[in-house]
Structure 1
């Protein structure tokens, strides 16, 4: 590829779960301008795709008073014909019926993949014919590289096109000419030894199945299925700050086992748990009694309500016609909290909760975006004000807490009724949140790293490959 300025290059990096793109590259770690889900939806015309699911919002109304629909339509006034037409709307949340063209790093649906790339390119909307750099997956073959090159030149008339291996792009970004790249994706992981900016093909682990972010989600679901957690809840729990993998030798809170090494004095544990200092003095100031979430904790406030074991299925309550009863209960709880705040009664010093790191709490809460509950409310055809009131009563996010604290947290009813935003609920989780890697995923990755580095012929480079270990990919965002 001939040299181009930084603002004249489009960088596209497709992945199994997420595709990122950037127009220009001012700096190696600049956040991508475009970040989309790597899926498309079949369009009305066969062979074409849409970036979002298209739903039919309203059908033509049926004829009334026993009249045939055709004769009833003839009596309609001309200005009323517009209301009888079918209205279509984009559902930017739902993934029902989605087609994922990349699975485990391999392209399995080429027409859908080309439609995805076209959508990303149009979203960037370059002002002129721009050079394109495509970050490729290790599983793509040379024949597929040729097919991609032909598509980009014919479709976008690009003046220049280049492909770069994902592992090589990572080493360039970090400025390390020799490193071991562990790329953890959705359903797989790639382990590559890069020496002098040259990826080693011998011993390279490509698309190791069952070692991606989905494996962590499934491990959580296996532990929490008995408590009513579905996959969406486990996925959001995995992405929350309270889910982490504890360092070796650190027991689960409440297990009664003595840690092999104090997590507060361990720098790795201090970085992951958010401890403010290290050493015995800091440990003593934190306290040793595990407590649940309180007013001064990092993960939320204690609602003061005894919940039954498991997750309360609010969506089923609303769908079952008991919404008014549930909303009245939530409104009463909200009012009681506001009244308690207004009284201004000081909390006794002895009863104030002790601030504990996440790794020492037996239970913690996270905010869950309940999309099913929001869909049920939409299906009830509430008017604008009722929709806003229902969302305000059910939402337990920051806006709800601002209202309880007497702050200006009013919402816009028109905006809420359109479905913008989501309904967030606080869900309590026990020590299961530390077991995302309990199914042997980490052991598989460690074995793959060992085999990759051991396959490098230059023995003197192996120590440097162990020292420069770079873990990247969306699946590697799990804390700890």
Structure 2
């Protein structure tokens, strides 16, 4: 088959709450143009039918919950809506190949039925399903072996990839995600609404502090005292008649030169434009989730029997999901993983002890206990459009790279065509070299 036109590629990444969509690739890889709620509505009169919009009395249906497809018919209808909406923007396009990014929680039978639907009901030209974990490693430069941690709203998927193969038998799924942070913050800040809690979590004053930052913070035992030059005459301010103005100016100056962690209080603005002041609670809420992820990582990687591959995975931990945007979250997670799992941690912290250890233990003995190093992956620097917004949705970038490689070259070993589907049906999906 001749290569497809890049302007016709349709890439869809469905999530429990929202779905990312891109129709066509530009000259450079860029973040998706469209993000829509993953929701449809029950048809008002027809059973087992759906509509794209509902009124106050319409039943809202979420096809995906906690990463799992719970209503396949509604999911398929949702995919058809996205396909038709994309074509409306460029009706001249006739041959559309699709990449659908899949959670590790999707069953094989669901994937087969989705394949059947896109060919028989939608009439797609070419189709492939890309596991989200593979999309992530493609974005990171095609690492053959890694561990992908995908933090969703209500769950976290921990998926090992070994030699480009997703090890679903070794995955761990923990029933906690970003919403767990919101629940903790709501307990600490009961006067804030759910939306205000979310605004706080997304603000730049909400941080997960490392141990070093905790020592230096306003609330730590080693908090820095203010220099004498920073003291000011309260009486002079009061008698000047400009109390509020001067205090606000002073606070602004303090914020500009003082790190967030060293301020007793800081402010954020919620969606309604209200300014809200928060104390030490802005540094709390991530600890429990990070501990649960750390435990899940260990449980997952224990199932990789080849110790060299297991160590490779420990050395390439890739974290996705918008919770990873929280300031300091990745650093705090890395610290937790090292504290919980690094073999010979005390030796690693002492260069002299480590040198002595390495001089007496050969590499074969060292690999008998892993991990002897733990590293978070580092994204390449050549995706400027993505660098501007961050890499929390990096599996989508990987899908863009994947789509360009397979559809531009006409590599039919990586996708199902209409002719192949006509011969082999939905099972053709499992013949692909993904």
| TM-based fold match above 0.5 | yes
Is 2:218–2:261's contact at 8 Å kept on the other side of the alignment?
Answer: no
Aligned to 2:55: 54
Is 1:363–1:429's contact at 8 Å kept on the other side of the alignment?
Answer: yes
Counterparts of 1:87-236 in structure 2, within 5 Å, are 98-125=60-87, 127-175=93-141, 176-205=143-172, 207-210=173-176, 212-225=177-190, 228-236=191-199
SS in 1 for 2:104: coil
Q: Indicate which of 185, 203, 207 corresponds to 1:240.
A: 203
TM-score, normalising length: structure 2: 0.63
Measured after TM superposition, the shift of residue 456 of structure 1 is 1.3
Aligned to 2:13: 13
Per-residue Cα deviation, 1:416-464 (whole angstroms, up to 9, x for no partner): xxxxxxxx211111111111214x2111101111222222122112222
Counterparts of 1:261-280 in structure 2, within 5 Å, are none
Aligned to 1:87: none
Measured after TM superposition, the shift of residue 247 of structure 1 is 0.9
Aligned to 1:298: none
Judging by fraction of residues, say which structure has more helix: 2
SS in 2 for 1:428: strand
Is 2:219–2:280's contact at 8 Å kept on the other side of the alignment?
Answer: no
Is 1:186–1:214's contact at 8 Å kept on the other side of the alignment?
Answer: yes
SS in 1 for 2:275: strand
Aligned to 1:357: 259
Per-residue Cα deviation, 1:2-39 (whole angstroms, up to 9, x for no partner): 85443332111111122111123457852112211112
What is the total number of aligned residue pairs between the two structures? 308
Bigger radius of gyration, 1 or 2? 1
Per-residue Cα deviation, 1:247-303 (whole angstroms, up to 9, x for no partner): 1243384425127xx9xxxxxxxxxxxxxxxxxxxx999x999xxxxxxxxxxxxxx
Measured after TM superposition, the shift of residue 40 of structure 1 is 2.5
Is 1:8–1:23's contact at 8 Å kept on the other side of the alignment?
Answer: yes
Counterparts of 1:288-303 in structure 2, within 5 Å, are none
Unaligned runs of 5+ in 2: 232-242, 329-434
Per-residue Cα deviation, 1:372-391 (whole angstroms, up to 9, x for no partner): xxxxxxxxxxxxxxxxxxxx
Unaligned runs of 5+ in 1: 57-95, 263-282, 290-303, 306-339, 371-423
* Aligned Cα root-mean-square deviation (Å): 3.3
Is 1:129–1:156's contact at 8 Å kept on the other side of the alignment?
Answer: no
TM-score, normalising length: structure 1: 0.58
Measured after TM superposition, the shift of residue 142 of structure 1 is 1.0
Measured after TM superposition, the shift of residue 157 of structure 1 is 0.5
The separation in 1 between residues aligned to 2:249 and 2:154, in whole angstroms, is: 50
Counterparts of 1:457-468 in structure 2, within 5 Å, are 457-468=305-316
